[in-house]
Amino acid sequence: MIAVWAWIRRQAEQADAVVGKGHHPTYEDFSGELYSESLDSLYNFFRECRGIMRKFPVGKLKESKQEHLGILINRILNDVFRPFLEKWSGPFRAWWATTKNDEGSPYEIQNQFPQVKDFLTDWRGLRRVMGKVEQTLRDEYKLIPLE
């Protein structure tokens, strides 16, 4: 039940930021995204996962904890989302706040971020991991892709 709820929330709201548009096989497609809004989606997904863990704490389980969704969520938050958000959210947002009103398209301006190459490389890595998680959840819980 938890997995289904997480699946629906992720599919409906944060799919592009978390795994990329149309599940692009190389996770390269950031076209049409405002990075600041996509960072918001990543943080919202992070917050939703923490909410799931609060509702269904791993410590209250009587069965083996090794295969519990809470273990997976904890690993995703601690090993994937938190490092990415801590590394990039602050620097990008600080830079964006000073440049977003410059002349030109916000899509072009955001690509002038001094560390945009490293930023997007790390984001592709996050999307790659989350694509594998999505596939695992889909297979394990026999979920139908919402494409």
- pLDDT above 70: percentage of residues in the chain: 71
Separation between Cα atoms, residue 134 and residue 29, nearest integer Å: 18
pTM of the shown model: 0.79
pLDDT level of residue 17 (50, 70, 90 thresholds):
low
Q: Report the SS3 class of residue 70.
A: helix
Q: Where are the domains of the chain?
A: 2-140
Q: Which SS3 state, helix, strand or coil, does residue 89 take?
A: helix
Give mean pLDDT, residues 53-67. 63
